[in-house]
Amino acid sequence: MHQVMTMKTVEKSKSQVWRPFVLFVCCFVCLANVLVSETVHGAVVTRTMQFNNSDGFTVVGSSDDKPGASQYVIEGMYVGISTGKFLYPQQSSDEWWDGQSDQSTSLGSQAAGTGPIQFTLALNAPAPGQTFDMESITLLGYSELSTTIEQTVRVNFTGTKIVNGTMSSVTLLSGEFEADELTPLVVTFGDEFHGLTSLTWSQGGTARAHQFDNITFSTVTAVPEPGTFLAMIALATMGFVTRGRRWIGKRLQVV
């Protein structure tokens, strides 16, 4: 009788010891799955650069070519100009596009003159391995007909990326638009413009041909693949199980 009672006590002790440990492991795995899901699906964020009063532009006024800065950082994206400063139309000018809000404008530049004026987009202070996907940009005319040598213009975009450790480039020629009209042309970029480190294009021609607005892009952060996370979780779980067995063994020796 005494032996039977002792065996029941030991069995009960095993159950009591294992139960909280198994519950802990289950909770750990569930939490890890949530973290994997959130990390992988939260890696891409889409933003649109607009040039508003809050970004340092004086939109109220009547100037066609209000001088701005030589570079801006908006929504985590750097936009710069190779020569001089950006110009932008104020709200009451003939070159302001009424398809935007009263507190917003578009960016352009002076005439290219003897050499091209280049615009550059790049992430500001990117994390290691971080790139961006170029989605779209809106182009508008920014010239008076009397000063435009070529009324119908196109813009050539060049994206730079690193493929297998080698720098490479992709290009896209926009559709035609009128340099003296405020008819917006939305340029949409394909998958080849994903994973960029920079995007450049020129004002082109010898006259001020275009202004641009609504730059939409997605940031891509390098994160481990789901399989890598699961392998890490599996190793951690095995470690907990091994340690737990040793701890349980010590507990049962006392019984």
Q: What is the mean pLDDT of each run of 10 residues along the chain (255 residues)?
A: 48 51 53 47 82 95 95 97 94 94 93 83 93 96 66 92 94 93 96 97 78 94 53 52 55 51
Residues 24 and 109 both lie in one domain: no
- Cα(209)–Cα(206) distance, rounded to whole angstroms? 8
Residues 124 and 234 both lie in one domain: no
What is the predicted pLDDT for the residue at 158? 98
What is the predicted pLDDT for the residue at 205? 62
What is the predicted pLDDT for the residue at 147? 53
- Cα(207)–Cα(150) distance, rounded to whole angstroms? 8
Say if strands 131-141 and 210-220 run parallel, antiparallel, or are unpaired.
antiparallel
Say if strands 51-52 and 104-105 run parallel, antiparallel, or are unpaired.
antiparallel
The answer to whether the CB of 251 falls within 8 A of the CB of 43 is no
Report the number of distinct structural domains present in the chain. 2
The answer to whether the CB of 47 falls within 8 A of the CB of 75 is yes
What is the predicted pLDDT for the residue at 36? 46
Residues 56 and 119 both lie in one domain: yes
147: DSSP letter: G
Residues 87 and 105 both lie in one domain: yes
What is the predicted pLDDT for the residue at 148? 47
What is the predicted pLDDT for the residue at 43? 72
Helix, strand, or coil (residue 151) = coil
What is the predicted pLDDT for the residue at 253? 55
Residues 31 and 135 both lie in one domain: no
- The terminus-to-terminus CA distance of the chain in angstroms comes to 18
Domain that holds residue 183: 44-220
Residues 238 and 169 both lie in one domain: no
What is the predicted pLDDT for the residue at 38? 42
Residues 22 and 57 both lie in one domain: no
Residues 80 and 203 both lie in one domain: yes
- Cα(237)–Cα(232) distance, rounded to whole angstroms? 9
- Give the phi and the psi of residue 89 in degrees, each rounded to 5: -85, 140
Unique residue bearing structure tokens 């800065």: 69
What is the predicted pLDDT for the residue at 8? 46
3-state secondary structure 173-217: ECCCEECCCCCCEEEECCHHHCCEEEEEEECCCCCCCEEEEEEEE
- At how many degrees (to 10) do helices 2-41 and 226-254 cross? 160
What is the predicted pLDDT for the residue at 35? 47
Residues 49 and 141 both lie in one domain: yes
CATH number of the domain at 65, please. 2.60.120
pTM: 0.71
Residues 170 and 250 both lie in one domain: no
Residues 10 and 109 both lie in one domain: no
Residues 27 and 98 both lie in one domain: no
The answer to whether the CB of 25 falls within 8 A of the CB of 240 is yes
For 217, other C-beta atoms within 10 Å of its C-beta total 25
